[in-house]
Amino acid sequence: MHAVVDALGNGLHLVLTPGQQADSLQLPALLQALPEAPGAVVADKAYDTNNVLAAIANRNAESVIPPKKNRLDQRAYYENLYADRNKVERFFGRLKEARGFATRYEKTATSFLALAHLLAAIDWMR
């Protein structure tokens, strides 16, 4: 499950992919799904690829992604803004309060994604 949250931690867009698929492949599509360009994109090291950084630059947004240790050019990032990455973790934590989501009770991907959307809408109303 991939999610885009706003600065308050409210879910804006959800995408479900197979577990073996790389996280970084989804970020350009997630950015395109947003109605307006974000000011900054905060993500973890899994998203530190040239394609992701180019997609963020094309949207005129600041990338707040720490570089991987094996990257030759260790670029700087805004560490205080990176601390806000926990908002997406807290969003998933609130979704996992529902037992059916946490244990993936729904067997089909469509049903599971529908449950995630429903829980995100309920979370938005809190």
pLDDT in tens, 48-97: 889 999 999 999 999 999 999 988 888 888 888 999 889 999 999 999 99
Contacts of 69 (CB under 8 A, 6+ apart): none
Question: Distance from first CA to last CA of the chain, Å, rounded?
Answer: 22
Radius of gyration, CA atoms only, the chain: 15
The model carries a pTM of 0.85
Question: Per-residue confidence at 5, pLDDT binned at 50, 70, 90?
Answer: very high
Provide the 10 A C-beta neighbour count for residue 67. Answer: 15
**Backbone phi, psi, residue 14, to 5°:** -125, 140
Residue 28 burial (CB < 10 Å; 0-12/13-18/19+)? middle
C-alpha 120/C-alpha 113 separation (Å) is 10
Structure tokens at 106: 């729904």
pLDDT of 22 strictly over 90: no
